[in-house]
Amino acid sequence: MITKRQLTILLVLASFLLFACSLFEDEYFSDPYETESYQGDEYAEEEAYEKDVEEAQSEETTELVGSPELSIESIPEYADPAFEVFSQYVDIFGVGVYATSEIPEDKVLHAAGIMAQYLDNTEDGLPDDPAVIRALQTKQASIYIFPLPDSRAEEEFIDGIEHLLDSGKLALQPCYGKEIVPNGAARGEFDASLEEILHLITNTGYAHAYPEIFGEERGTAIADAMDKARGGYFEYVPASYPDGAWYTYDDQTCDYACMISEYHYWALTSLLGGQDFSGRGEEISHEWHLNTPEKLRNGDPAIYALLTDSRYHNPTVLPDGNYSP
């Protein structure tokens, strides 16, 4: 028979054990990442930024209908504070073009028009490939425009968003004001916005929407085609390319994935006639030999077949920046 005194002691011991167990659970079974994610200004800022972006773009990531109005606006409120260096913004199907105040409006709108025509090549007001659009939106893909490369302002901007770039939550591609040359081919100049904007679309869009086809790693369909074009598989730039290679890019800072991105650009713009103007073939011959649609069709049937396969909705008309849905 348990006495009142013994019962009281047992109840006290039980209460003590329950209290001790709760402390043990808090100490050893709480999620360390849940706590850590809220420690420090950097974590708090990043979480607030992600929440703002999700709320502001929740409709953009699912709504793909309706032509984008190519008008210059102020920087979105959800943008990271580092984007305050820019004063001009154009939205194209949820993909942004940011520019500083020094960039003329006609160049900003030209770059936005190039983007729109790559994504809506039929110019019917609808993106040609929703999977590519979603891949771009998921990575918050954007073009940014400074007047010249390697400026102090650009360095500070990159420093400010480095944590987002490193985490893979943001994809950016520079396109400098001096490189944007509307109707440049007529004057014998290449409009580099055709290249830089395409890099963003292929790196972040096609490579993720169709990883086995356009993924930027060894073994994908486009990588196999590139290896043939280079005369073999080279993880890094070789001392010299084999005789007969028609893609001979030699930038030592360009790794294998970068080589695929450049190859995609050379092939597609050549297919669309963007490299076929007076003096251009000779100018680029140290990197690329098939600068016309006919040369590409006859010289590189593998990439020609990929880029003309209607399942992947690659552009069939070279953008000129005059988007008119």
Q: Is residue 269 part of a domain?
A: yes
Sheet hosting strand 95-99, strand order edge to edge = 88-92, 95-99, 142-145, 172-174
| Angle at alpha carbon of residue 160, lines to 181 and 78, rounded to 5° | 80
Q: Is residue 177 part of a domain?
A: yes
Integer angstrom CA distances of residue 252 from 19, 43, 238, 248: 63, 36, 9, 12
Higher-scoring residue by pLDDT: 138, 67: 138
Q: Is residue 83 part of a domain?
A: yes
State pLDDT tens for residues 201-225.
Answer: 999 999 999 999 999 999 999 999 9
Q: Is residue 155 part of a domain?
A: yes
State pLDDT tens for residues 185-201.
Answer: 889 899 999 999 999 99
Give the Cβ contact number of residue 273 at 10 Å.
14
Integer angstrom CA distances of residue 43 from 33, 57, 63, 189: 11, 21, 30, 46
Q: Is residue 148 part of a domain?
A: yes
Residue 48 confidence (pLDDT):
56
Cα gap 308→310, rounded to integer Å: 6
Higher-scoring residue by pLDDT: 170, 39: 170
Cα gap 318→271, rounded to integer Å: 9
Residue 30 confidence (pLDDT):
44
Rounded average pLDDT over 291-303: 99
3-state DSSP of 111-127: HHHHHHHHHCCCCCCCC
pLDDT band at 69 (very low <50, low <70, confident <90, very high): confident
Contact status, residue 214 vs residue 222, Cβ threshold 8 Å: yes
Burial category of 265 from C-beta neighbours within 10 Å (exposed 0-12, middle 13-18, buried 19 and up): buried
What Rg, from alpha-carbon coordinates, does the chain have? 26
Q: Is residue 8 part of a domain?
A: no
CA torsion sign, 179 to 182 to 187 to 191? positive
- What residue type is 79 in one-letter code? A
If DSSP codes are grouped into helix, strand and coil, which group holds residue 87?
Answer: coil
Residue 309 confidence (pLDDT):
98
Q: Indicate whether 17 pLDDT > 90.
A: no
Residue position matching structure tokens 């440049």: 184
Q: Is residue 29 part of a domain?
A: no
Q: Is residue 229 part of a domain?
A: yes
State pLDDT tens for residues 222-256.
Answer: 999 999 999 999 999 999 999 999 999 999 999 99
Q: Indicate whether 152 pLDDT > 50.
A: yes
Domain count, the chain: 1
| Angle at alpha carbon of residue 15, lines to 12 and 18, rounded to 5° | 150
Structural domain including 84 reads 57-312
